[in-house]
C-alpha cells in the first residue's frame, strides 16, 4: 500500500509522456482541427455581413435565360457595367481556361475589356488530386490585374478546408494569395506589394496580419452559411435593374 501513490504518479507521468509524443508526431492534429472547427460554430457573437460586399449569382433563372455555358458576350457586358458603376474591386470566379465556342473575336473583345478593368481578380485553381494547376486563357492571364487563388487544401475535419499560400514545388517558392485577400487589398486601395508572407503571418499592409498554421496554410474562417451576404441575380445586373447600388462595392 505504501507504494500506491508512487505507482499512480508514475502511471500519470507515463500517460502524459505518451500524449506529448503523440501530439508532437502530428497524430493528434485531427483533434486540434476539430476543436478549432467547432469553435467557429460556437462563437458567442453572430457576425454581420460587411455592407460593401455583394455577390452576383448565376441562378437557375440565369441559366434558363442565357444557357450554360453562358455566351461570353454577357460577361463582357457585365464587366463593362460594373466598371461604369464605379465598383472598387471585382472577383470574377469563372475560369475561362478554354477558347470560346462562338468565335475568336469574342475572346479578343473579352481580353480587351479585362485589360480595361483595373480592379479585377480572376481565378487560379490548383487540383491537388491531379497535381495540376488551371488558370484563364494565357491572354486573359496576361491582361488581368491579378490572379487570385481559389483552390482549397482539404482539411482533416468535415466541412473544414484551408487555402495553401505557398507553392513549394517551384524554385524559388511562389506565393499564392487567395482571391478574397487580393480583393480586400484592392478594396483598401493597396498596391500588390502590400501583401507579404513573413514570420508565419500573411500581412495586408498596415491593416491586419493573418496567422498561418504550422504548414503555412491559411485556415478559412467562414462568416456564415450560404445566403449570408446579399446576392443579386446576374440577369438583374445585365438588365440594369440591380436592387443594390454597386458604387464603391466589392463584388464577387
Q: What is the pLDDT of residues 123-175, one digit of tens each?
A: 988 887 788 889 999 999 999 999 998 887 665 544 445 676 776 666 666 67
Over 60: is that where the pLDDT of 199 sits? yes
54 and 166 housed in the same domain: yes
C-alpha closest to that of 173 among 165, 184, 181: 165
Higher pLDDT pick, 223 / 251: 251
3-state secondary structure the chain: CCCHHHHHHHHHHHHHHHHHHHHHCCCCHHHHHHHHHHHHHCCCCCCCCCCCEEEEECCHHHHHHHCCCCCHHHHHHHHHHHHHHCCCEEECCCCCCCCCCCCHHHHHHHHHHHHHCCCEEEEEEEECCCCEEECCCHHHHHHCCEEEECCCEECCCCCCEEEECEECCCCCCEECCEHHHHHHHHHCCCCHHHEEEECCEEEECCCEEEECCCCCEEECCCCCCCCCCCEEEHHHHHCCCCCCCCCCCEEC
Q: What percentage of residues in the chain have a pLDDT greater than 70?
A: 74
76 and 15 housed in the same domain: no
Domain of 17 in residue numbering reads as: 1-42
97 and 166 housed in the same domain: yes
The band of 14, judged by pLDDT with boundaries at 50, 70 and 90, is low
Q: What percentage of residues in the chain have a pLDDT greater than 90?
A: 49
120 and 28 housed in the same domain: no
Over 70: is that where the pLDDT of 212 sits? yes
The b-or-e profile of 36-49 (16+ CB within 10 A means b, else e) is ebeeeeeeeeeeee
Question: Grid coordinates standing for 33?
Answer: 482541427
9 and 93 housed in the same domain: no
6 and 106 housed in the same domain: no
54 and 38 housed in the same domain: no
What is residue 118's predicted lDDT score, i.e. its pLDDT? 93
115 and 134 housed in the same domain: yes
φ and ψ at residue 207, rounded to 5 degrees: -85, -45
201 and 83 housed in the same domain: yes
Task: Measure the CA–CA gap between 84 and 91, rounded to whole angstroms.
Answer: 16
3 and 91 housed in the same domain: no
Residue 209, beta-bridge partner list: 203
What is residue 233's predicted lDDT score, i.e. its pLDDT? 94
180 and 121 housed in the same domain: yes
141 and 84 housed in the same domain: yes
Higher pLDDT pick, 162 / 113: 113
Q: What is the pLDDT of residues 62-107, one digit of tens each?
A: 999 999 999 999 999 999 999 999 999 999 999 999 999 888 999 9
Domains contained in the chain, number: 2
Q: Is the whole model's pTM more than 0.75, yes or no?
A: yes
Amino acid at each position: 500500500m505504501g507504494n500506491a501513490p508512487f505507482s499512480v504518479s508514475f502511471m500519470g507521468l507515463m500517460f502524459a509522456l505518451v500524449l506529448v509524443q503523440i501530439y508532437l508526431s502530428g497524430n493528434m492534429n485531427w483533434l486540434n482541427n476539430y476543436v478549432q472547427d467547432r469553435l467557429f460554430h460556437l462563437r458567442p457573437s453572430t457576425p454581420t455581413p460587411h455592407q460593401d460586399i455583394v455577390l452576383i449569382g448565376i441562378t437557375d433563372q440565369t441559366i434558363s435565360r442565357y444557357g450554360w455555358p453562358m455566351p461570353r458576350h454577357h460577361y463582357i457586358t457585365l464587366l463593362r457595367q460594373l466598371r461604369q458603376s464605379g465598383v472598387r474591386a471585382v472577383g470574377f470566379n469563372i475560369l475561362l481556361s478554354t477558347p470560346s465556342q462562338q468565335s475568336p473575336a469574342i475572346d479578343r473583345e473579352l481580353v480587351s475589356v479585362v485589360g480595361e478593368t483595373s480592379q479585377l481578380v480572376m481565378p487560379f485553381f490548383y487540383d491537388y488530386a491531379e497535381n495540376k494547376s488551371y488558370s484563364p486563357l494565357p491572354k486573359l492571364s496576361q491582361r488581368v490585374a491579378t490572379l487570385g487563388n481559389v483552390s482549397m487544401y482539404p482539411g482533416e475535419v468535415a466541412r473544414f478546408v484551408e487555402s495553401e499560400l505557398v507553392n513549394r514545388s517551384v524554385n524559388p517558392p511562389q506565393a499564392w494569395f487567395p482571391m478574397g485577400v487580393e480583393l480586400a487589398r484592392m478594396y483598401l486601395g493597396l498596391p500588390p506589394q502590400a501583401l507579404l508572407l513573413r514570420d508565419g503571418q500573411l500581412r495586408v499592409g498596415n491593416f491586419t496580419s493573418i496567422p498561418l498554421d504550422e504548414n503555412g496554410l491559411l485556415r478559412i474562417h467562414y462568416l456564415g452559411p450560404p445566403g449570408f451576404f446579399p446576392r443579386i441575380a446576374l440577369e438583374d445586373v445585365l438588365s440594369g435593374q440591380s436592387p443594390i447600388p454597386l458604387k464603391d462595392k466589392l463584388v464577387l
